[in-house]
Structure formats: structure tokens, C-alpha cells
Amino acid sequence: MLDTLIAGLLRGNVYALGAVGISLVFGVMNVVNFAQFSFFGLGAMLAWFFIATLGLPFWLALPLVLVICGGLGLVINITVVRPLAKFLPLAAMLSTYAVSQILDNASQVAFSAQFRVFPAVLPTSNLQIGNMRFGTSDVVMLGTTAVLMVAMSLFLKYGRIGRAIRATSQDQEAALQMGIPVALVQHVSFVIASALGGLAGVFIALYVGVANPSSGLNIGLTAFVAATLGGLGSLVGAVIGGFVLGILESFGIHFFGDTSRQIIIFVILIVVLIVRPGGLLGKIPLISTEPLTGTFLGKGRPFRIPRWVWPVAFLAIGVLIPLTGNNYILTTGTQVLIYAIIAAGFTVTAGQAGVLALGQAGPIAIGAYISAALTLYLDFSFWVALPIAGLVAAIVASILASPIWGVKGHYISIATLGLGIAIVAVIQLVVPQGLYNIPVPQWFGTPLSTPTAYYLIDFGVLVVTLLVMFRIRSSHLGKVISSVGSDEVAALASGVRGRDYKALAFAISAFFAGIGGSLLAHQYTYIDPTIFTMLMSLLVVTIVIMGGVGLPYGAVVGSIILIGAMELLRFTPELRIMVYGLVLILVVRFRPGGILVRNS
């Protein structure tokens, strides 16, 4: 027991450092900062480079890492985050995700993706309590965090800028009116957060013994949960959240095993959000608007699409490509179509209800597994399994998501992100083996396994999806859902139960995600949990943002650009992700409503 507790404390230490940075930036900018995740990986790699390659002593390498990470943080804030955060917190959040992709890849190009042995700068197992051995290294880490946290709290309490940080995070506009240099405050916060991220990265590497550029994502996500647990914006909360999560995680793994790690973390998150929707120490928002509300929708009107475009697009995508395209184009096309189906279904949640759910990989996985299992073990026909997969995905996802609709603002994004990861983690726990030989669709005994057949099936489903989406949008129901997204307070005042309509919108999106999952499963004929990643969820979101968050047909355009363009960039694997990140930033910067939406 004691050793589990100590392991949890050491772990919590790292989470606390990361969480303080995330909370700090959130407090002053109202932006969830994904780029912070990259600083974990980057800090570790820089420290490795300075110590192992350049031979610098640890005590010199550490401040260097902090300065570089802090400096990079400043550059990112000036060039990307602040210009967007001023008018669109959510766009800024997505751009921080793009920045983190760019940083991770740049770091991979610079240091290679190789795992590196981190030099043992201090003894790691010279001390012992009970059965648990630990080292001077661990004590120094805990001590450093303690000193830093005391220094931080003194700075925030008495320092000029520290007080300005607190004022800004309480009320940005009031702070501005009182003459507080909010820009400077935000820069300083970003620098501190980035440096803390780098420090946490070094600590992780010291503790684990191995570092690699992409190691930040998982720890970052957990630190993010720790910040949420403590209450976004509360620094004391972040520290408490970090240690609490570290210890709970450690005991959870002790009892349920390492494979349930992610489930444990997100169950804790969801329980806390239900019991205390603002986190342990956060403010509980009484009335708050969703981050998407009145931003994307208010920023512009969709371009008018001339009537002739529809039949032309139908002929081009539905007839011309299947007749003339080679198998490579058709296979890439099936991916484009499937993601278009999933994303078009998602517009009702993201665009109309104004909820940026980040966990679509969850319902996609449910649909894929249900459809595969029905056809494999119960001899269902694909055509029957397809709608059932959608229905089951909608029902299961709705039940699982039902507790989170009381949560507001960014918390809903985080909770759905967690939900998506937890669903896939549960599937991995229950069926770790992949499913093989999933039957291909048949038409009266003829197997439809050619790329053309897949393409046409997907095209047909996409057309139906778009028709359904248009029908929903123009119905009374669609208008009510839109009213929740446009102005939740006004909708509530008019007697619309926003919570229920958000849940309904989410269920509709989950239905189409499940359909998409089923189509994927029968075309791959093999699925396993590694296919349904967080990146898949984020791809769905970026497709929607790219095309126009409330436009089902925008999802088709977004899908063509993001999946098609990724294929075009195949010749340069190293730059691919970076170009992807850059495109995302540019779109969000210059067409914040999506490329089919005119700026207003």
C-alpha cells in the first residue's frame, strides 16, 4: 500500500506541474492549451540533447530547457494563440492543437522518433520506505515542485504582475479598464506555463528513464484532466488535482491493472464533473454560454450555393469518379466519403447545438464493433447490421454521455473527449484481440468487395445522410436545436430545455458516427482498438471546422480537403503533419467560420 502511495505521489508531482500551466493559461485567456502537451515531450528531448549529446551538466541543462520552452511559448502566443483568442476561444484551442502537432513533428525531425535513454543524473533507488525504493532524484523533484509552488503563490499574491494575472483571470474586461496590461499578463502566463511544461517533461524523463518526442500526449492529457479536476483557472486546485489524480491512478492500477489506466482517469473526471461541475476548487458557472455559441455562428453567413452546383456535384462525385477513377482514387475516395458521413452527422452537435464534442471515435468504434460482431457471429446481413450499428452507437453513447450535459463550457469538450477515450479503452479491455474476416457487403449473393462497390455504397449512404441532415435542419426540431446553440439563455427563457436538446443532437451525431464505423469495419475487414484514436476524433472536428461548422455539405468539402490533401502530401511524410497543422491554423485565422462561410 505504502509503495503504491509513494508511486502515486511521484506521479502526481508531474501532473501538478503540467496542470498548473494549463490552469494558468486558461485563467487569463480562457483557452485550453494543447500546445502545453508538446512541451512535455520537447522538454524531455531538449534535456536529453543537452546532457547526453552536448555533455552539459544537469544544472546548466535545466535552466536552458526552461528558457527555450518559455521562449517558444511566447512566440506561439504572439503569433497564433492571442490573435485568435481575442475573438474566438475555441479557434484558439484548435490552433493550439495544430501547434502541438507541429511541435511534436518538428521535434521528431530534429531528434528522430527514437526512444532515448535519459541519463541518470541523480541516484534513483538509494532510499527506501517499506518495500518501495526511491532515490535522491525523486526527493529533489518533489522539493523543486514545492519550492516552485510556494514561489508561484507568493508571486501571485504580492508580485505586481502576479496580481495582474489574478485580476485578469477574474475579469478580463474589468482588468483592461483598470489599466492592467492584459497582453503582457497573457504573455507572462504563457511563458510560465510553457516553462513549467518543459520542467514537467524533464521530470518525467528522469523518473521513467526513457524519453521520446511524442511522449507528451498521454501525460499531457492526464495533466489536463488534473487541471479540470482541480477546477480550470484555479492554481491551488491544479496542484491538488495533480496529486489527487496521481494517487488515485496509482491505486486504480494497483487494483484494476495498467490497461484500465485511461478508464480510471476518465471515470474520476466524469464523477467529479457530475458532483462538482466546476472542478474541486473552480467556480461553478451559473449561466454560461457554450464556447461555440455566438462565435462561429455570429461570425458570418454561408456562401450561397447556386442551385446548379448540387446536380453537378452529384454527377461528379457519384458518377464521374466511379466511372473514371482508378482503384487508388476510389479507395482514397471511400475514406473521404466515410469521414464526410461522420462529419456531416456531427454538424448538428457542433454547429446547431453549439457543443464541441471531442470524442467521436467512441461512437465510431461502437458502430464498427457492433456491425462486425452481428455479421460475424450472428450471420446478420450487412444491410441490416448497418442501421443497427448506428442505433446502438446512438443509444450507448447517449446513455454514457447523459451525466455530462449539466456541465458547461470547455468542460463539455473535455468530458466528451474523455468519454471517447474511455469507450475505446473499455473495448480494448474486453476484446483486446482484433476482429478478423469481417464479412464484406453482399448484394443477393454477389460480394461487393471492389473499390468501386465500396465507393458507391459509401456515396449512397452519404447522400442519405445529407438529405436527413437537411431535413432535420429545416424542421421545427432543427430550429429548436439551433436556438440552443445560438443563445442558450434565451432558449431557456423561452422554455426550451437546452440540456435535452443537446443530448438529442449528440445522439443524432453518434448515430452517423456508428454508421461510419460500420462502413469502415466492413471495408477494412479487420478492426482493433488502435484504429479508433483521439486523432480520429480530432480529425472529425477539424473536418467540420474546415468546411463550416453548421453546414452538412461543408463536411464533404472539409473531408475532401483534409483526407484528400493528406494523400497528396504523401511524398513528404515528415512535413505532412506540419503542413496539416499549418493549414488548420490558416483556416481558423482567416476563415474562422469555415471555408464555405463568408466573414462578416
Partner 1 sequence: MHNMANSLKKAFDLAVEQVNDGGGIDGHPVAIKYEDSQSDPKQSVAVAQKFVGDDSISLVFGDYSSAASIPASPIYTAGKLLQYGFNNSNPNFTAKGSDYQWSTSITTSASYEWTADYIKDQGITSVGVTYLNTADWGVPAYNAFKAEAEKIGLTITDAEGVLDTSDDYRPSLSNAVAGKPEAFVHIGYGPDAAKIVTQLRAIGYDGTFYGGQDEQSFDATPDAVGSIVGAQFLETSPDAAVQAFVTAFKKKYPSETDVTGFEAGAYDALNVAVAAAKIGGTTREGLLEGFKKIKDVPSIVYGTITFDTATRRIASPKLTPTILKEGKWIAYTG
Amino acid at 29: M
Residues whose CB falls within 8 Å of the CB of residue 485, separated by 6 or more in sequence, listed in order: 290, 292, 293, 297, 351, 352, 353, 354, 355
Q: Does residue 117 touch partner 1 according to CB under 8 A?
A: yes
Which residue's CB is nearer to partner 1, number 174 or number 208? 208
Amino acid at 480: V
Rg, the chain, Cα only: 24
Which residue's CB is nearer to partner 1, number 360 or number 523? 523
Q: Does residue 324 touch partner 1 according to CB under 8 A?
A: no
In the complex, minimum distance from the CB of residue 254 to partner 1, in angstroms, rounded to a whole number = 5
Among 87, 310, 328, 383, binds partner 1 (CB under 8 A): 328
In the complex, minimum distance from the CB of residue 115 to partner 1, in angstroms, rounded to a whole number = 4
In the complex, minimum distance from the CB of residue 600 to partner 1, in angstroms, rounded to a whole number = 36
51-80 residues in contact with partner 1 (CB under 8 A) are none
Q: Does residue 449 touch partner 1 according to CB under 8 A?
A: yes
Which residue's CB is nearer to partner 1, number 193 or number 424? 424
In the complex, minimum distance from the CB of residue 89 to partner 1, in angstroms, rounded to a whole number = 29
Q: Is the dihedral of CA 355, 356, 358, 362 positive or negative?
A: positive
Q: Does residue 446 touch partner 1 according to CB under 8 A?
A: no
Residue 80 half-sphere exposure toward CB, CA atoms < 13 A: 30
Residues whose CB falls within 8 Å of the CB of residue 409, separated by 6 or more in sequence, listed in order: 285, 288, 289, 290, 291
Q: How long, in residues, is the chain?
A: 600
Which residue, 333, 297, 315, is CA-closest to 551?
A: 297
Site stretch for partner 1 (CB under 8 A), options 105-113, 192-200, 225-233, 299-307:
105-113
In the complex, minimum distance from the CB of residue 500 to partner 1, in angstroms, rounded to a whole number = 35
In the complex, minimum distance from the CB of residue 432 to partner 1, in angstroms, rounded to a whole number = 5
402-441 residues in contact with partner 1 (CB under 8 A) are 428, 432-434, 436-437, 440
Site stretch for partner 1 (CB under 8 A), options 68-76, 414-422, 444-452, 581-589:
444-452
In the complex, minimum distance from the CB of residue 128 to partner 1, in angstroms, rounded to a whole number = 7
Binding-site string for partner 1 from residue 554 to residue 573, where x marks contact by CB under 8 A and - marks none: -------------x--x--x
Q: Distance (Å, rounded) from C-alpha 555 to C-alpha 543?
A: 6
Among 77, 349, 523, 537, binds partner 1 (CB under 8 A): 523
Among 177, 324, 446, 530, binds partner 1 (CB under 8 A): 530
Q: Does residue 131 touch partner 1 according to CB under 8 A?
A: yes
Site stretch for partner 1 (CB under 8 A), options 22-30, 71-79, 330-338, 363-371:
330-338
Q: Does residue 30 touch partner 1 according to CB under 8 A?
A: no
In the complex, minimum distance from the CB of residue 150 to partner 1, in angstroms, rounded to a whole number = 26
Among 259, 381, 494, 599, binds partner 1 (CB under 8 A): 259
Q: Check if the beta carbon of residue 90 is closer than 8 Å to that of residue 356.
A: yes
218-247 residues in contact with partner 1 (CB under 8 A) are 218-219
Amino acid at 494: S
Q: Does residue 398 touch partner 1 according to CB under 8 A?
A: no
Q: Distance (Å, rounded) from C-alpha 474 to C-alpha 485?
A: 15
Please state at what angle helix 327-347 crosses helix 534-547, rounded to 10 degrees.
Answer: 80
Residues whose CB falls within 8 Å of the CB of residue 239, separated by 6 or more in sequence, listed in order: 16, 19, 20, 149, 230
Which residue's CB is nearer to partner 1, number 190 or number 243? 243
Q: Does residue 261 touch partner 1 according to CB under 8 A?
A: yes
Q: Does residue 526 touch partner 1 according to CB under 8 A?
A: yes
Among 163, 166, 254, 589, binds partner 1 (CB under 8 A): 254
Q: Check if the beta carbon of residue 182 is closer than 8 Å to that of residue 175.
A: yes
Q: Distance (Å, rounded) from C-alpha 225 to C-alpha 217?
A: 12
Question: What is the total count of residues that contact partner 1 (CB under 8 A)?
Answer: 68
Among 56, 132, 373, 463, binds partner 1 (CB under 8 A): 132
In the complex, minimum distance from the CB of residue 331 to partner 1, in angstroms, rounded to a whole number = 4
In the complex, minimum distance from the CB of residue 32 to partner 1, in angstroms, rounded to a whole number = 21
Residues whose CB falls within 8 Å of the CB of residue 180, separated by 6 or more in sequence, listed in order: 164, 167, 168
Which residue, 470, 502, 551, 512, is CA-closest to 345?
A: 512
Within its chain, how far is the Cα of 32 from the centroid?
A: 10
Q: Does residue 11 touch partner 1 according to CB under 8 A?
A: yes
Site stretch for partner 1 (CB under 8 A), options 159-167, 205-213, 227-235, 474-482:
205-213
Per-residue exposure over 453-485, b if at least 16 CB sit within 10 Å of its own CB, e if not: bbbbbbbebbeebbebbeebbeeebbebbbbbb
Which residue, 335, 317, 295, 250, is CA-closest to 6?
A: 250
Q: Does residue 174 touch partner 1 according to CB under 8 A?
A: no
Which residue's CB is nearer to partner 1, number 98 or number 336? 336
Q: Check if the beta carbon of residue 481 is closer than 8 Å to that of residue 501.
A: yes
Residues whose CB falls within 8 Å of the CB of residue 185, separated by 6 or more in sequence, listed in order: 28, 161, 164, 165, 168, 175
Among 87, 115, 310, 443, binds partner 1 (CB under 8 A): 115
- Rounded to 5 degrees, φ, ψ at 353 are -85, -10
Site stretch for partner 1 (CB under 8 A), options 27-35, 68-76, 195-203, 249-257:
249-257
The Cβ of residue 534 has, within 10 Å, a number of other Cβ atoms equal to 17
Which residue's CB is nearer to partner 1, number 282 or number 529? 529
Which residue, 62, 21, 8, is CA-closest to 205?
A: 62
Tell me the Ramachandran region of residue 33: left when phi exceeds 0, alpha when psi lies from -120 to 50, beta otherwise.
Answer: beta
Among 95, 101, 145, 212, binds partner 1 (CB under 8 A): 212
Q: Does residue 207 touch partner 1 according to CB under 8 A?
A: yes
The residues binding partner 1 (CB under 8 A) are: 3-4, 7-8, 11, 108, 112-117, 120, 124-125, 128, 131-135, 204, 207-210, 212, 215, 218-219, 249-251, 253-254, 257-259, 261, 326-328, 330-332, 335, 428, 432-434, 436-437, 440, 449-451, 523-526, 528-531, 567, 570, 573-574
